[in-house]
Structure 1
């Protein structure tokens, strides 16, 4: 009887409410212990151009995404995020108007895309549209959004290696959404501060992950070249790598999560 009473006493001491969650940062919404807000620019940067992110819904669930760093690093309303699998939808207020403006450009590596450096330098500002998602997600969004096919398409041609070293990139030239936007702004505004200041939170995030057990990831392209890639190579990856090698350019600068 005493044992039974002891069990009930133990059960009665269990709190009815669930344990409190870790304290979250008010800005980045990450747990305070892994907050990267201290690495943000001391003052939010105000470029002439605007960043427009067309974000696949799955991106919002990723804990290591870089879009929030971009949105918090730039001045308010300088980085707009629209979520969906096709664009525009009726809920995307003012997006169609933005996409139809003559100074809107789409960072997308199509056959029709031109080097971003070839854009008219006399244009005071641009609406820079990026698709935020994996390569298959980005292709699906592009295919299901006919309005994107009518926008002037540009590409980044750079030799930068991504600092997003805790994620596996498809090819050596792939950059995260944050890095792509920062590089595009630096080139269009002719000011290196964007690619220097905006990516600091990413450095902080990666360093924290590495200090706590994460490992540096090489790109799929590097692993394949060194014959250390653990999986069979699919047709899509083979075609992408062949195109990259033939053109000696980065084909997928706007995607960060793989093929």
Structure 2
């Protein structure tokens, strides 16, 4: 018994020393991706507005902070919640009601973002940050979003977020979606090229330390290597994506 008390008395009262954190990305210095950030924070005409599901903030490999640090102050605004706007979301309702606000959401009425007037015009580009089911739930519970002009991305880009499983081959991370949207809207490839570099740094570190590349669920299903049964929701999403790709291909010809 005396030995037990002696052992307990030797436990330090202070908490163990934590790993040094980067002052910018708040990640442990050894896994910091800030070396991939643009040399100077980019200043687009338009502003990215992220409506972020609370669960997304808890992910250790999320990309929203990369976007926020890659863009100039007030060019990436993040609001958290499961429905929008709420009283705590300062100025958000005013932003969502502005005529130059657009919602990047793949609805049937969404138009190509490149069809927007881009001559000296700035837009508030609203993105829902979360998984596809979370994004659909946020959209359904936020009637104000239904009134906003909706736009979509038409791109052949594939995700560089290879350490995370995407639903379909055409899915992009929040960072990549915003970067592609800014590049198309402002007709400047630097947003696509520079904003995603921290993601490359992150993925390379993970791969160097035992992570493996992930194929999309769509790829795994097509190759009959997906380990689970396909639910109706995923099946419908895959079919919708394939129909969209087929339609765009036919329009090009």
Q: Which residue of 2 aligns with 1:256?
A: none
Residues in 1 aligned to 2:58 and 2:198: alpha-carbon distance in whole angstroms: 19
* TM-aligned CA deviation for residue 80 of structure 1: 0.2
Residues in 1 aligned to 2:246 and 2:36: alpha-carbon distance in whole angstroms: 31
SS at 1:11's partner residue? helix
Q: Which residue of 1 aligns with 2:106?
A: 109
* TM-aligned CA deviation for residue 140 of structure 1: 0.5
The correspondence of residues 171-182 of structure 1 with structure 2, limited to 5 A, is 171-182=168-179
Query: Which of 190, 204, 207 is residue 207 of structure 1 equivalent to?
Result: 204
* TM-aligned CA deviation for residue 24 of structure 1: 1.1
Q: Which residue of 1 aligns with 2:78?
A: 81
Q: Which residue of 1 aligns with 2:140?
A: 143
* TM-aligned CA deviation for residue 92 of structure 1: 0.7
* TM-aligned CA deviation for residue 211 of structure 1: 0.8
Q: Which residue of 1 aligns with 2:97?
A: 100
Query: Which of 13, 25, 38 is residue 16 of structure 1 equivalent to?
Result: 13
**Structure 2 CA distance for partners of 1:121 and 1:11, relative to 1, 3 Å:** closer
* TM-aligned CA deviation for residue 64 of structure 1: 0.4
Query: Which of 13, 30, 33 is residue 33 of structure 1 equivalent to?
Result: 30
* TM-aligned CA deviation for residue 117 of structure 1: 1.3
SS at 1:248's partner residue? helix
SS at 1:130's partner residue? strand
* TM-aligned CA deviation for residue 95 of structure 1: 0.5
Query: Contact between 1:109 and 1:155, CA under 8 Å: does it hold in 2?
Result: yes
**Structure 2 CA distance for partners of 1:249 and 1:20, relative to 1, 3 Å:** farther
* TM-aligned CA deviation for residue 18 of structure 1: 2.0
* TM-score, structure 1 normalization: 0.92
Residues in 1 aligned to 2:75 and 2:30: alpha-carbon distance in whole angstroms: 28
Q: Which residue of 2 aligns with 1:224?
A: 221
* TM-aligned CA deviation for residue 12 of structure 1: 2.8
* CA offsets 1:18-57 (integer angstroms, 9 cap, x no match): 2121111111111111011111111111000000000001
RMSD of aligned C-alpha atoms? 1.6
